[in-house]
Amino acid sequence: MTGVKAKLEGMGRPASVRPPPPPQIELLLVDQRARRFAQERARRTYEALVEAAAAAFMKDGYDATGTPDIAAGAGVSVGTFYRYFDDKKQAFLEVCRRNLAVGYRRILEQLTPERFVGKARHATIEEAIAILLEHVAAYPRMHRVFVEMSLRDEDVARLRRAFDDASRARLTALCERIATRAAVPDPEATAWVIYTAAVECASAVAGLHGPPTIEVERARAALSRVIERALFDG
């Protein structure tokens, strides 16, 4: 028995068991603040504020958005806003955390080792890249604001690093499971390159670096082939 299937079955755990995520990702994927609300009305108000904040930041950016804008969008007073958030940055962080968590769940949590057995690996990689490109393209303004803020605010930078580290760690674990050491002698470095290339490509295709000079389908196909060759040595 050869290839990925043999590698999976030769490990000490079944192929159907997902590699455990890094401990910190469990906290990142859940809104810790929402758990405090015992009353349904309070929870609904909180959710309305988060949704209003997301809409405001996507429309006007971070600097031009004020707490009155968020409160008005949620249909509550500014005083009510401050019952749930200390300031607009706290609301911004929650909006960004949710967006990152959605992307992590849609893409990385679906990349299990058994999906890379045989010919399925090509379709799996293409599907993951398609979802990534779609996710970034759906909220290009929000993605741009998040990246800009991460360069000038340590709290936003910390959130970005946490998701980047968790994502790369999961990809590293995946590379260790699905690729031979002959094809991928350094899983951690390979995961870092794949992750960085995929995120940058998605950003470029979404127009974050200016109008894209290549069609989405061509970019998706090329990126998928590059990743497949990097993992399986052609």
- In tens, the pLDDT along 12-49 reads 344 444 445 554 677 777 777 766 777 899 999 999 99
* Inter-CA distances, 39 with 42, 82, 122, Å: 5, 18, 47
Per-domain residue ranges of the chain: 29-95, 107-234
Architecture of domain 29-95: Orthogonal Bundle (1.10)
Task: Please determine, looking at this structure, whether the domain spanning 107-234 carries the CATH number 1.10.260.
Answer: no
- In tens, the pLDDT along 108-149 reads 888 999 999 888 999 999 999 999 999 999 989 999 999 999
Which letter does DSSP use for residue 19 in this model? P
pTM of the model: 0.84
Residues 192, 54, 138: CA angle, nearest 5 degrees = 55
Least confident of 18-27, 86-95, 195-204: 18-27
Task: Report the alpha-carbon distance of residue 52 to residue 129 in Å, rounded.
Answer: 29
- In tens, the pLDDT along 36-89 reads 777 899 999 999 999 999 999 999 999 999 999 999 999 999 999 999 999 999
* 232 Cβ neighbours under 8 A, 6+ residues apart: 121, 179, 183
